[in-house]
Amino acid sequence: MIKKRIISLILFLSLIGNCLIVAQSKTTNLYPGITDYLKSLNRQPVDTIISKIDRLIDNVSDTATQSKIAGIAFDYYSSSPVMGHETVAVYLADNYFLNKRLKWSDEDSFVMLYTYAEFNRESLLGKSAQELVLEDINGHLISLRNCEGEYKVLYFYDDKCSSCKEQTEQLSSIIQNYKGIPITLLAVYTQGNKDDWHKYVNIHFSKIDNPAVTIYHLWDPEAGSLFHKKYSVLSTPAMFLIDRQNIIIGRKLDCNALSQLLDIRNNSIADYHALFDNIFSEMDPVDSATIAQIATSFEKMVGKDSALYRESFYELYKYLKSQPYTEYSQGAYTIANQYIINRPEYWSVEFVEQMKYVLEMYSKNMIGSVASDLVLQDKKGRDKSILGYSSRYTILFFHIIHCSDCNESKEALKAIYEKYKRKGIRVIAVYTGENEAEWRKFIKDNEKKWVYLWDENKSGNIHEKYDVLYVPKIYLLDKDKVIIAKDITAETLDGIIESMMTNKRPK
């Protein structure tokens, strides 16, 4: 029933859409100079545009002229191809016409004015993304707001739509060749034929294999999630880009715009990284006071710009967390507590909860502390303590078998082990999965001198003691089993070990 009502509404909107177009042409022709003025504002921020339109309307004394000016402005911004201008149109509808402050000039198209605002209000640029819980192709429920990914691409399509086919082919190519921070694609089929949906997915998405991209194929055949209204899906294709804090940063995108926006975001992250490199290299040696000073400076710099605040402090947190030094690690912990968890007004609820969990796990094995012990089983079923092996340095490698990133790390660790095995290096590979046959084959096919362990009895509490929700995870311990570095790449590990062997700090 819900789906029928949605479809009926969409058909109705398409029938009455011409009413608004006619109203636009009649009103706009009366005041051509106003349209020229609005065009001159195109490069201004949305808040500035709204302020100037308000001022323009307030400078006119009679309400009839005010209505015409506001109507022209609404017509202009509701049909503008510039991303973000929908916000201006919704503002004008809400603050001048729907609240009855001014009279809409054409009664026949008033319903279209109302529906435009109603169907765009929840998915405007800069708004918090509305939750969608949809069924995936395997029958599991997936939450848009809770799924992982630094950025989320929300893509609505119809298998019978020629424009969708063209955009889907371009999107598949972009996703397959994408290189950047991890993203998640939520591809939402808007129709109700399951066989057609599966066929479409198989044709257009099945060959994509990119570790930087997670893909969910979703649908809502009964339209119970109200995705049409929440994301203004009155036609397809429709594409949105959502950031880590579930803020909409791109709407009604085509593939070219998506690709450019992702490039901008990735370049911005690289710029932040370079900025932090310069800042911290100038302030070496770094301690907690130094990091606090930098954070305070950033807070003053961003002022009341919430978007810049989120971007700056999240990138600072990620940068500090990625560095293999105790002071940086502790600094990341401080930033997350003081500027994310204790400032919830800047962040989504889901992100704050995720950060709380990350910090809870992160605090269990802080750099500089003795590693938590695990009693696991070797290939002969014997109980073994991971802290019971004597060596100058111990590498803990948490992994699963069918994981491309784990396999890449494994190969890199082989080279590192070969390079330093005579220097007192031991590798303990901890399998976090449950398939014994695959694990034994893995042991047979890999380095014989490594220690291979797994939690055969499910009593080792790996996930309670170590942050291994995502693998691979690499830890480096000294001879006393004190953690030197954690959650690092094999490349970083190599640099740390080399620096310790030569008594030089890694770059």
Average pLDDT over residues 344-357: 89
Per-residue pLDDT reduced to its tens digit, 112-166: 899 999 999 999 998 999 999 999 999 999 999 988 888 999 999 999 999 999 9
């919830």: which residue's tokens? Answer: 344
**Is the confidence at residue 260, as pLDDT, over 70?**
yes
Q: Which of 27-31, 154-158, 215-219, 289-293 has the lowest mean pLDDT?
A: 27-31
Structure tokens at 301: 């710099």
pLDDT of 26 higher than 50: no
What percentage of the chain has pLDDT greater than the value 70? 92
pLDDT digits (tens, 9 = 90+) for 392-450: 999 999 999 988 889 999 999 999 999 999 999 999 999 999 999 999 999 999 988 99
Say how far apart CA 417 and CA 423 lie, in whole Å.
10
CA-CA distance, 74 to 26, in Å (whole number)? 14
| pLDDT recorded at residue 31 | 66
pLDDT classification of 8: cutoffs 50, 70, 90: low
pLDDT at 259 over 50: yes
Which is higher by pLDDT, 335 or 322? 335
* pLDDT the model gives residue 270: 92
Kindly write down the DSSP assignment for every residue of 220-241, as one continuous string: -TT-TT-HHHHTT-SSS-EEEE
Q: What are the DSSP calls for 394-456, one per residue? A: EEEEEE-SS-HHHHHHHHHHHHHHHHHGGGTEEEEEEE-S--HHHHHHHHHHS-TTSEEEE-T
The pTM of this model reads 0.74
Residue 368's closest CA among 475, 286, 494?
A: 475
Question: What's residue 504's pLDDT?
Answer: 56
- Number of H helices and number of E strands within the chain? 18, 14
pLDDT at residue 5, rounded to an integer: 54
Would you say residue 384 has pLDDT above 90? yes
pLDDT in tens, 59-78: 988 999 999 999 999 999 99
Q: What is the pLDDT of residue 507?
A: 47
Sign of CA dihedral 60, 64, 66, 72: negative
Q: Residue 398's closest CA among 448, 347, 364, 432?
A: 432
- E runs forming strands in 244-361: 248-250
Strands of 168-304, DSSP E: 183-189, 213-219, 238-243, 248-250
Q: What pLDDT does 24 receive? A: 45
With bands split at pLDDT 50, 70 and 90, how would you rate the model's confidence at 357? confident
Rounded to whole angstroms, what are the CA distances from 440 to 191, 378, 386, 414, 432?
A: 46, 10, 19, 18, 13
Report the amino acid identity of residue 312. Answer: S
**SS3 for 106?**
coil
